[in-house]
Amino acid sequence: MKSALTIAGFDPSGGAGIQADLKVYHSYGVYGLSVVSALTAQNSGGVKRVMPVTRQFVKKQLTVLLDDIKPDATKTGMLCRESTVEVIAYIVKKYSLRNFVIDPVILSSTGRPLAEKGVPGAIRKKLLPLCTVVTPNMYEASVLSGIPIKNQIDMEKAALTLHEYGAKNVIVTGGHLDKMAVDVVYDGEFHYLRGRKSAGEYHGTGCAFSAAVTALLARGYGVLEAAKLAKGFMKKAFAKSFSTGQKMKLFNL
């Protein structure tokens, strides 16, 4: 049994964050481990409030867990504070965590900031050089790279910049493009994962995609193959989405 760790926020709706990650891991037959970095008050309409977990308790959760169990892959989601980013960097190095995936959660799908001002810079400086792959959407890639993104060419420029900052592999997801949902993968050369855009608004798309990549890395797939399979996983997730609340659709993972 392979295992994967998620370090992310708690979502009461179950559509994003830790709950979504664990569902995706389970769907791939990967045992899910989790460390809570933040508590949120949110529903299908979006995030109303965030309460970060202290750096001391994030560190305690991780050290107690990792002294006993070492995951085959690890991903981060909402980290909220620079101090939390620093703890993660310390832990990744101390425990030599492999298959490290960064989902740089900076802004909610409804536009609410989910991280302190200094978090993008801390991720860029401290985590990108340690990661196996970073999976930003267009907005997150723009913030991390400093390049305004409006089209596929801009996505390529941002991917190159993030690679130069130290990320071994970069996947800039293109769900916010106007027509086709084209993901740009850079691993030393460019690859393009194309798919049709799904109509409507969905909760937790970035979480689900990055969790699928993480689960596949835990199972031994390479980054490019994991990205391709995760793209297919999301196509099925969109097809099985449903509305249980009043706003965004949720995935039946």
- Going by C-alpha positions, the residue among 184, 100, 188, 169 that lies closest to residue 137 is 184
180: phi then psi, degrees, rounded to nearest 5: -90, 150
Confidence of residue 250 (pLDDT cuts 50, 70, 90): confident
Average pLDDT taken over every residue of the chain: 92
Given a contact cutoff of 8 angstroms between Cβ atoms, the answer to whether 164 and 153 are in contact is no
pLDDT 10s digits, 181-203: 899 999 999 999 987 766 667 77
- Of 97-101, 203-207, 238-242, 245-249, give the range with the top mean pLDDT: 97-101
Measure the CA–CA gap between 21 and 6, rounded to whole angstroms: 7
CB 74 within 8 A of CB 101: yes
End-to-end CA distance of the chain: 20
Say if residue 178's pLDDT is above 70: no
pLDDT in tens, 75-99: 999 999 999 999 999 999 999 999 9
- The model's confidence at residue 231, banded by pLDDT at 50, 70 and 90, is very high
In the block, tokens 């008050």 appear at 41
Give me the count of residues in the chain: 253
**Which residues of 127-216 form beta strands (DSSP E)?**
133-134, 170-172, 180-186, 190-196
pLDDT (0 to 100) of residue 203: 74
The structural domains of the chain, ordered by start, are 3-239 (3.40.1190.20)
Contact between 130 and 93 (Cβ < 8 Å): yes
Question: How remote is the C-alpha of 125 from its chain's centroid?
Answer: 18
Q: In angstroms, what CA-CA distances link 225 with 9, 67, 177, 185, 219?
A: 27, 31, 23, 11, 12
The pLDDT of residue 109 is 64
Name beta bridge partners: 73: 4
List Cβ neighbours of 12 (8 Å cut-off, separation of 6 or more).
Answer: 40, 41, 42, 43
In this model, does residue 176 exceed pLDDT 80?
A: no
The pLDDT of residue 204 is 76
CA distance 224 to 133: 10
* Whether the predicted pLDDT of 14 surpasses 70: yes
Give the pTM. Answer: 0.94
Lowest-pLDDT range of 2-11, 62-71, 197-206, 210-219: 197-206
What is the Cα gyration radius of the chain? 16
